[in-house]
Structure 1
């Protein structure tokens, strides 16, 4: 099978560049921008206050991501949209494997970024969503400020029965789902859905062995 190199998870890497105290648990009716703030600051606050994670223990950083970021994200929707039309032709078992492997990839990428940036002292500003109260899909714009440098990062969220959930991130004009959709389409075209499952599984196993 042809070797494919997945692009680094730059958008998720950028969200960790925040120095702040622990965020409080978000309420189900909280605004989209409040949920984004809670998701980001909860993870970073925990990592910066724990000696092991602050020292770069990747396994423990990964555990923090799973516990404190995943509840505010909908990676199942992210997976479905990134896989694209191939998702509809996949069997339930294939869909399960795609979701599990892609989530593992996303979580590990986020954890690696946290390990690299855990001591950054960068401020984060959240812009209120402009969507109406009845909107089901919104974009929250944020700005990362590091001394004189400033970067915009956008988060796309969908309203669910449990409240707003993050499912896509945009930095420098590149949406996470769009970036991976192009890569996944190439792999599926050559090896089918099983080929994509196999590639993600092999990729994750290789990363865990490093």
Structure 2
């Protein structure tokens, strides 16, 4: 039996506090931990590992969404003018439906790169000034000899760094969806956009 080692509680708390501060000051660590956590959960789940869309979506909900700020994403995608006119109930509905769309879209991408041979690389990130509240974390997905860059835009919140935009295939998702949403808003206003998102999510459930 190994001898019992007593560690002062104050020392444990202090060490945890230091680690939390380090993670908070390094958005790249948050992004890497998030991606690695999602992929590990997929690989360790026999059903998800075989490409089950629903199981992968659930993993995204559990492991990815907590480290996002898709309310901010929704606000930017809807646009300043429309967001200002929306009621709180409409904003909540837009957020719920858009977050579902984003989570399913991300899960679909993971289905295509879930193979054991896929590697995730994290290029070194330059140190950020202590006053920084926004940053871009660059990653690479290497699969079958091809390298696909995926960038994550993050911002600092009271709960730490959160992902709010993703660049895949050279396009930031906020820009892409802002263009789509503008057409829906022009045709049916905010309620029309909500109905569009609901219909889209139901069709892809």
- Normalising by structure 1, report the TM-score: 0.81
Instruction: Give the match for residue 148 of structure 2.
Output: 151
SS in 2 for 1:40: helix
4+ runs deviating over 6 angstroms:
none
Q: Does 1:115 align with 2:111?
A: yes
Deviations 1:74-99 (A, max 9, x none): 11111111111211111100000000
State the alpha-carbon separation in 1 of the partners of residues 110 and 150 from structure 2.
17
Task: Give the CA deviation at 1:27.
Answer: 4.2
Task: Supply the RMSD in Å over aligned alpha carbons.
Answer: 1.8
> 2:155 aligned with 1:161, yes or no?
no
Q: Which has the larger radius of gyration?
A: 2
Higher normalized helix content (fraction of residues): 2
1:133 maps to 2:151 = no
**1:56, CA displacement in angstroms?**
2.5
Is contact 1:53-1:61 (8 Å) kept? Answer: yes
Conserved? CA contact 1:28–1:163, under 8 Å: no
- In structure 1, the partner of 2:181 is 184
Structure 1 residue 69 displacement after superposition = 0.5
Q: Does 1:64 align with 2:59?
A: yes
Instruction: Please list every run of 5 or more consecutive structure 1 residues that lacks an aligned counterpart in the other structure.
Output: 1-25
Q: Distance in 2 between matches of 1:67 and 1:172?
A: 25
2:71 is aligned, of 76, 80, 83, to 76
Matched residue, 1:174: 171
Equivalent residues, number: 183
Among candidates 31, 34, 37, match of residue 39 of structure 1: 34
Tell me if structure 2 keeps the 8 A contact 1:129–1:138: no
1:183 is paired with a residue of what secondary structure? helix
Segments of 5+ residues of structure 2 without an aligned counterpart are: 1-18
| Contact in 1 for aligned 2:117/2:144 (Cα 8 Å) | no
Give the C-alpha shift of residue 57 in structure 1.
2.6
Q: In 1, are the aligned partners of 2:119 and 2:143 still within 8 Å (CA)?
A: yes
- Tell me the TM-score normalised to structure 2 length: 0.83
